[in-house]
Structure 1
Amino acid sequence: MDISGNTIFIPGSTSGIGLALALALQARGNTVIVGGRRTESLDRIAAEHPGIDTVRIDTTDPASIDAAAKEVLARHPGLNVLVTMAGIMRVEDWHRPESFLASAEATMATNVLGPIRLIAAFVEHLQTRPDATIVTVSSGLAFTPLKVTPSYNASKAAIHMLSESIRLQLADTSVRVMELQPPSVRTPLLPGQEDNEAAMPLDEYVAETVALIEAQPDAKEIQVERVKFLRYGEARGDYDHVVATVNAHDPHGK
């Protein structure tokens, strides 16, 4: 993925990493469309950041995804990058089903079915572009589990393997698959995480991510330095130590 000159749709980007990445990519000379569920947030973003387009989309609703895809492509037929950013993270207690089942179902619907449906809505169009990219978003917790968020961990592990698999299938097309693997970042993903000093500052995460994409436009995985502790524990042979460290020091995973 070239760092500039793209038309990029980022559903799930009205706050947190998604919005910060959208603004950073716009500043690098890309046309950016932000998607989200809340019209008031979209209106505020459009007013505060001229040049950013907005589209209402609920990534848990197949009809909403289809309608948003039609709207985006009608206004931006040159779209060549899809970033499947939307996601939720919830603390669960798996001792009793009433404490986790609804949360697990919602997490999988948002974090796994959402990206799958988004890719389904855009993949044929992307194959018509001479240089296109699907950007998926997993997590360091796809590789090292945080005890209190089982469904989130599993959903991000699924996104990692989905990314690996569709990259192989789309190798005969113009579409690349790039996977972002964030560590714990100071965002509203979990209550209190914005103020978690152990998490990576949002601006630092986005700046390092954009720099990595610019330096490695053909990279399969974008890993800021701080996520490598989680990503490579098994390969280094210290997986048990990584799991113990993550679960001993911070309820949010870092």
Structure 2
Amino acid sequence: MKTAGNTIFISGGSAGIGLAIAKKLSRSGNRIIINGRSEERLQSALKQLDNAAAIQGDLSEEADRIRIAKQLKEDYPEVNLIINNAGAAFSYLLNETLNAHQKAAIEMNTNYLSVIHFTELLLPHLLQKAESAVVNISSIAVFGSHKLLPTYGATKAALHSYTAALRSTYEEEKNIQIYEVYPPLVNTEFSAEIGGVNGISPDEVADELFLALGKNQFDVPVGDSKQFFK
């Protein structure tokens, strides 16, 4: 996959891993469109990026997914790479909550079902491009759950299974590539509740993805996740 000259959509691009990826790819000569729920945070992020725009919206909501996909195709028809990074996670103990199923439903919708739908909405457009890609930001949680994130890991395992099936489905199509990134604990606001301050920099995730795109390396382990790819 080329690493410059792309038009790239990044969900959850106003902070954390998404913003780090946006910065890396922007500096490398790509047009960036970031998405997030907060217009204020999006505008703050745009000040840190070159050649970038923003589309506000909540991809966990079906109407927003449809609207954003439509706007992307109409306003940014050159878009050829989507990075599904937006996520949800709840930190709690199963013996201290009575609504784990409700938390799990939110996580599964945001981390899995919404990704499937949004990707489905953009795939016909991407397949018309000479070179395109879908990047799903997964997690080290694919390889094992943690008691403080009891239902989050299952959603990322589901995303992993879907990504593998998507890659297999389009393996004969030479103009589209399917990537999966496996961050470990990363020092972001998103992971603050589970000790994110002890995690790696989000810049490390961005750097690994950039290198993987240039090498057509479809599985992208980062940090501690590399132990599972030896």
TM-score by length of 1: 0.84
Which residue does 1:169 correspond to in 2?
169
Structure 1: 5+ residue stretches without partners? 237-254
Distance 1:2 1:50, change over 3 A: closer
- State the Cα distance separating 1:77 from its structure 2 match: 0.7
Helix, strand or coil for the counterpart of 2:191? Answer: coil
Give me the whole-angstrom Cα distance separating, in 2, the residues matched to 1:109 and 1:84. 13
Partner SS for 2:90 = coil
- The offset of 1:188, in angstroms, is 1.3
Q: Do the aligned partners of 1:8 and 1:79 also contact (CA within 8 Å) in 2?
A: yes
State the 1:75 CA deviation: 1.6
Does the 8 A contact of 1:90 with 1:190 survive in 2?
no
Identity of aligned residues (%): 27
Q: What CA deviation, in whole Å up to 9, does each residue of 1:27-74 have, x standing for no partner?
A: 111111001111111222234434211001211111101111111111
Tell whether 2:125 aligns with 1:145. Answer: no
Q: For 1:67 and 1:99, locate their aligned partners in 2 and report how far apart those are by CA, in whole Å.
A: 31
SS of the equivalent of 1:172 reads coil
Aligned partner of 2:155 in structure 1 is: 155
Q: Is the 8 A contact 2:12 2:18 kept in 1?
A: yes
Q: What is the CA–CA distance in structure 1 between the aligned matches of 2:75 and 2:31, rounded to whole Å? A: 12
C-alpha spacing 1:158/1:90, structure 2 compared with 1 (3 Å): same
Larger radius of gyration: 1
Name the SS of the counterpart of 1:158 in structure 2.
helix
Q: Which amino acid aligns with 1:72?
A: L
The residue number in structure 2 matching 1:222 is 220
SS at match of 1:135: strand
Q: Tell me the equivalent position of 2:186.
A: 185
Q: Deviations over 1:106-131 (max 9, x none)?
A: 10111011211110110110111111
Q: Matches of 1:96 and 1:193 in 2, distance apart? A: 16
Say whether 1:34 aligns with 2:31: no
Which consecutive unaligned segments of at least 5 residues does structure 2 have? none
The structural deviation recorded for 1:144 is 2.0
Aligned partners of 2:123, 2:212: CA distance in 1, in Å?
A: 25
Aligned residue in 1 for 2:130: 130
Task: Report the equivalent of 1:246.
Answer: none
**Does structure 1 retain, via aligned residues, the 8 Å contact 2:184–2:223?**
no
Matches within 5 A, 1:22-101: 22-95=22-95, 98-101=98-101
Corresponding residue for residue 20 of structure 1: 20
Distance, in Å, in 2 between the alignment partners of 1:36 and 1:93 is 28
The aligned residue for residue 209 of structure 1 is 209
**1:33 counterpart SS class:** strand
How much does 1:158 deviate?
A: 0.7
Q: Conserved in 2, the CA contact under 8 Å of 1:92 and 1:99?
A: no
TM-score (norm 2): 0.92
4+ aligned runs moved over 4 Å, structure 1 = 192-195
SS of the residue 1:196 aligns to = helix
Displacement, 1:148? 1.8
Shift of 1:206: 2.2
| Amino acid aligned to 2:183 | P
